[in-house]
Amino acid sequence: MSNQEADFSAILERLENYSMGSGIQYNQQVIQLPEIEKFMKLHINNVGDPFHPPVVPPVPNTFKEERYVIHQVAKMWGAKEEQVWGYIGSSGSEGNFSGVRYGRDTLFNKFDLAQKSDITMMYSDAAHFSLHRAADILNIKRTLVKTDNIYRMDLEDLERKLTENLDFYRENGLILVLTIGTVMTGSYDDVKGANKILKRLNIEKSYVHLDGALGGLILPFLDNFDLKLGQDCDSLSISGHKICGLPSSASIFITSQENWNLVVESTPYLSKKDGTLFGSRNGLVVLHLYKAMFEMELTGKKVREMIDLTESIHSKLKSNGVPTFKVENGLAVYLDFNTEWLLPIKKKFKLLDNTKYIHFFVMEHHLTHREICNDFVDSVTKAFNAYKNGLKSE
């Protein structure tokens, strides 16, 4: 071991260099936890099931606050407190993994299926990468559904794929994962429409999980929101580091008590019954989400402001002749990524591309630092005009 001390100032400088970052759905306006220095001196570990804590907890925990978070989010999604179960995990990927796991085991146990490996998960080609991995690890079949012109799940393709192998899905079970705020465009799958297809095709052995990593705390603040947990979906996952602004990644996973009863496993030396995925979890993250729950009215106001700011960026670019796109009530402005003129923009604003298009995501820190958005509009417009003029001179 070297006696040389680590240069944490250099590390901090490197991390702070992301202040212009606008290419992913994370919130740099980090929520501030009171007494954070004192909490950081404690090992806070939520070991086991938050609704079935051990009689003698081995370490300090925040189970009480965890249950509060679950109940508050469930209420936002129209579910009754006594009917839900959930927990706070490490990331949106874990939330999706839990959704697929609960779908598989709920279907298997509820309908006494022949084998778990014949259950099929369907999801769109714009869905999160964690779903592909979850299906592989859980050893179930998977089918990809196309997206439409605004990158929502194409319901015609969904019905076509279901019809092609309808008897198999009716017999062996189907997990349908719908995305509420896709990674690249922020699009919202049509949950009501997808459920109508399942009902029309009489697929009784079905389980619907919503990946609401981003949109799970956007849709409830819209005037026309009419989705209900337990009615329109069987489980829901939401990220804590997107709308809520946690300093580290986290997920809120919620399902029904009925589903929990079908999936729960025994942990004799801890909570006796445990429905979480990994058991040991970050109890400090729970406190950040707990604080966020008391600020939901302000959060709703900010969400509407972010939607308006996204529309403003989109409108300014369009008025400057830049071909750009956005979805209704979305937080992403995206452009075709097929020329080199966007490369400097990508580097400056830390943007992502999927080889087809590139996106700028509006999050809470953009409300405070609107100069980033103005700079983006100016930079894109200048780069696009230079590109056009170059074409004309050729």
Q: What is the pLDDT of residues 222-254, one digit of tens each?
A: 999 999 999 999 999 999 999 999 999 999 999
Domain assignment present for 166: yes
**pLDDT, tens digit (0-9, with 9 covering 90-100), for 146-168:** 999 889 999 999 999 999 999 99
Whether residues 222 and 344 share a domain: the answer is: no
Query: What does each C-alpha distance from 251 to 5, 28, 118, 149, 227 come to in angstroms?
Result: 35, 17, 28, 29, 20
Whether residues 212 and 185 share a domain: the answer is: yes
pLDDT score for 391: 62
Domain with 229 in it: 36-293
Task: Determine the length of the chain.
Answer: 394
In this structure, what CATH number is given to the domain that contains residue 283? 3.40.640.10
Whether residues 230 and 115 share a domain: the answer is: yes
User: Crossing angle of helices 155-164/191-200, nearest 10°?
Assistant: 30
Whether residues 276 and 371 share a domain: the answer is: no
- Which domain-ending residue is among 270, 293, 316? 293
The answer for residues whose C-beta is within 8 angstroms of residue 149's C-beta and 6 or more apart is: none
For the cut 80, the answer to whether the pLDDT of residue 394 exceeds it is: no
User: What's the alpha-carbon Rg for the chain, to the nearest Å?
Assistant: 22
pLDDT score for 393: 56
In this structure, what CATH number is given to the domain that contains residue 318? 3.90.1150.10
Whether residues 139 and 254 share a domain: the answer is: yes
- Name which of 76-80, 202-206, 278-282 the model is least confident about: 278-282
| pLDDT band of 279, cuts 50, 70, 90 | confident
Whether residues 230 and 205 share a domain: the answer is: yes
Q: What is the mean pLDDT of the chain?
A: 94
- Which domain-ending residue is among 293, 314, 329? 293
Q: Which amino acid is residue 122, in one-letter code?
A: M
Contact 70, 255 (CB under 8 A): no
- Which domain-ending residue is among 293, 312, 340? 293
Whether residues 305 and 287 share a domain: the answer is: no
Whether residues 125 and 113 share a domain: the answer is: yes
pLDDT score for 3: 57
Whether residues 102 and 79 share a domain: the answer is: yes
Question: Span 345-351, mean pLDDT?
Answer: 93
CA distance 251 to 237: 7
Whether residues 331 and 282 share a domain: the answer is: no
Domain assignment present for 316: yes
Question: Span 55-81, mean pLDDT?
Answer: 95
For the cut 90, the answer to whether the pLDDT of residue 5 exceeds it is: no
Domain assignment present for 2: no
For the cut 80, the answer to whether the pLDDT of residue 390 exceeds it is: no
CA distance 303 to 322: 26
pLDDT score for 2: 54
Whether residues 224 and 161 share a domain: the answer is: yes
| pLDDT band of 292, cuts 50, 70, 90 | very high
Lookup: tokens for 24: 């992913």
Q: How many domains is the chain partitioned into structurally?
A: 2
| pLDDT band of 392, cuts 50, 70, 90 | low
Decide: pTM greater than 0.75: yes
Dihedrals phi, psi of 103, to nearest 5 degrees: -65, -50
Domain assignment present for 197: yes
Neighbours of 65 (CB within 10 A): 20
CA distance 92 to 250: 7
Contact 226, 233 (CB under 8 A): no
Whether residues 256 and 300 share a domain: the answer is: no
Domain assignment present for 317: yes
Contact 309, 366 (CB under 8 A): yes
Domain assignment present for 185: yes
pLDDT score for 312: 98
pLDDT score for 116: 98
pLDDT score for 1: 44
Long-range contacts (CB closer than 8 Å, 24 or more residues apart) made by 356-360: 357/184, 357/185, 357/325, 358/334, 359/23, 359/184, 359/185, 359/186, 359/332, 359/333, 359/334, 359/335, 360/22, 360/23, 360/313, 360/332, 360/333, 360/334
CA distance 96 to 91: 9
- Name which of 172-176, 259-263, 340-344 the model is least confident about: 340-344
Domain assignment present for 46: yes
Count H helices and E strands in the chain, helices first.
14, 14
Percent of the chain with pLDDT over 70: 98
User: Crossing angle of helices 283-293/63-76, nearest 10°?
Assistant: 40
The answer for residues whose C-beta is within 8 angstroms of residue 278's C-beta and 6 or more apart is: 89, 90, 94
